[in-house]
């Protein structure tokens, strides 16, 4: 029999396999997760609410016959507190929504429950997954530092062994960057492939449901459940030499030494493993993508928060009044040009990415900074604008290093291809340095 510490450190796929084999019950798994939360969350502060019925749900699921069990049977998950949950408050980490209880679950939450998952609780987030109030969550590797934003609690909960899987969102860099800061695997799928019904809207052109796990297999598990196993084109078996492009993007001068080192190590290790590694310089007009993202983000945010500004006035954080009042001063002509540029850039990048099995880029400017700010989205926003699938993979540096990751990217809708290649790439990038706890 496994002890609590061993259970807490299981990946989602490992836990599901153990439950199928009868070596682990859902109740034991949920109990171990709750024990870890009780031990650690007073310091980490990943959770805003916990499910008081989780153990009873686990016991009920343990009684289900093996042939009636669904794909996530008995697996506890964390849910970022911008997803509606009928049985738990959905506060958006906003003082305006304390105690708010939606009438129904968000579509993704409903679907995961239908597949047998147990919502263990709601994780902390930057206010409305946008701006305003920061999450209180600390980085499990150094509590003086941020776990990133806006999906702070979800990333920290997986990293600190509270739960094996957690839901996130990304509008700029809110899934990938916390994954890098916390040293966990993270996936932002292709834009539009996962329902956003029942998730707080910030920018309709960018908002994307994402998730965290402890392995690429965990990411693929969730992707398969959510219907992302459909290939863009007939898939070849994921063997043989991979064609990999390494890029620092157009903002190399903004990268800290640790991110440059992670990129360099990724290139060296992949090349040594026999893969074809190419340095990729993105087109000159790629430098404009971040500014275009910001114009669309703030203008769509203007629409998303206009009602709250009118209803709550000064009680709403000034960051949201900034959007509503268009303090950036962008014009509607600027917005039209940004939309047009986004459409053309998506076509252009898909043509570039089609020549490679994966493009590797920085996941963050560097290590998690001290404090609780979400971090700079500069190295994520362009990929979000392009609508492409992104996977954060940790890169091993020195044994005492803070976590750092790189982003694996593919053309739009090549999610299943990217996951298959990530499964081969991830062990190579973690082949040196600090062992897992």
Which residues are tagged catalytic? 80, 150, 174
The angle subtended at Cα 264 by Cα 146 and Cα 259, nearest 5°, is 15
Neighbouring C-beta atoms of residue 23, cutoff 10 Å: 12
CA distance 48 to 125: 9
Q: At what angle do helices 332-353 and 378-386 cross, to 10 degrees?
A: 80
- Residue 133 structure tokens: 């109030």
Strands of 339-415 (E only): list them: 358-362, 390-394, 405-409
Structure tokens at 156: 């920290």
CA distance 122 to 105: 12
Contact criterion met (CB below 8 Å) for 298 and 337: no
**Collapsing DSSP states into helix, strand and coil, what is residue 364?**
coil
Distances (CA, A) of 320 to 95, 209, 317: 13, 22, 6
d(CA 242, CA 224): 23
The answer to whether residues 414 and 401 touch, using CB atoms and an 8 Å cutoff, is no
């Amino acid at each position: 029999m496994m002890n609590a510490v061993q259970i807490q450190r299981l990946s989602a796929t490992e836990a599901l396999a153990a439950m199928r084999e009868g070596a682990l019950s859902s109740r034991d798994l949920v109990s171990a997760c709750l024990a870890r939360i009780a031990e650690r969350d007073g310091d980490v502060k990943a959770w805003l609410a916990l499910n008081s019925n989780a153990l009873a749900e686990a016991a009920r699921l343990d009684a289900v016959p093996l042939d009636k069990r669904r794909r996530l049977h008995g697996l506890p998950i964390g849910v970022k507190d911008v997803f509606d949950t009928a049985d738990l408050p959905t506060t958006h980490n906003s003082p305006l929504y304390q105690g708010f209880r939606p009438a129904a679950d968000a579509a993704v939450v409903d679907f995961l429950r239908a597949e047998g998952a147990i919502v263990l609780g709601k994780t902390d987030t930057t206010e409305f997954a946008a701006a305003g109030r920061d999450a209180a969550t600390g980085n499990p590797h150094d509590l003086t530092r941020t776990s990133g934003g806006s999906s702070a609690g979800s990333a920290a909960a997986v990293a600190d062994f509270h739960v094996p899987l957690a839901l996130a969102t990304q509008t700029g860099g809110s899934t990938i960057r916390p994954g890098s800061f916390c040293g966990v695997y993270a996936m932002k799928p292709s834009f539009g492939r996962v329902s956003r019904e029942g998730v707080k809207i910030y920018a309709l052109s960018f908002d994307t449901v994402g998730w965290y796990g402890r392995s690429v297999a965990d990411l693929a598990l969730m992707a398969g459940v959510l219907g992302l196993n459909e290939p863009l084109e007939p898939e070849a078996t994921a063997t043989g030499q991979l064609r990999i492009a390494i890029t620092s993007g157009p903002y190399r001068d903004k990268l800290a030494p640790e991110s440059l080192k992670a990129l360099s190590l990724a290139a060296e290790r992949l090349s040594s493993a026999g893969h074809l590694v190419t340095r990729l310089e993105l087109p000159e007009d790629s430098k404009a993508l971040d500014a275009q993202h910001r114009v669309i983000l703030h203008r769509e945010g203007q629409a998303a928060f206009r009602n709250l500004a009118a209803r709550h006035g000064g009680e709403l954080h000034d960051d949201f009044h900034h959007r509503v009042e268009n303090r950036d001063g962008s014009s509607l002509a600027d917005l039209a040009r940004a939309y047009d540029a986004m459409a053309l850039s998506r076509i252009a990048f898909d043509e570039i990415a089609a020549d490679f099995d994966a493009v590797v880029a920085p996941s963050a400017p560097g290590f998690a900074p001290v404090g609780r700010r979400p971090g700079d989205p500069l190295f994520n926003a362009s990929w979000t604008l392009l609508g492409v699938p992104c996977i954060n993979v940790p890169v091993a540096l020195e044994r005492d290093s803070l976590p750092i990751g790189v982003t694996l990217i593919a053309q739009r809708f090549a999610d299943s291809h990217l996951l298959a290649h990530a499964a081969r790439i991830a062990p190579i990038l973690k082949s040196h340095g600090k062992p897992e706890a």
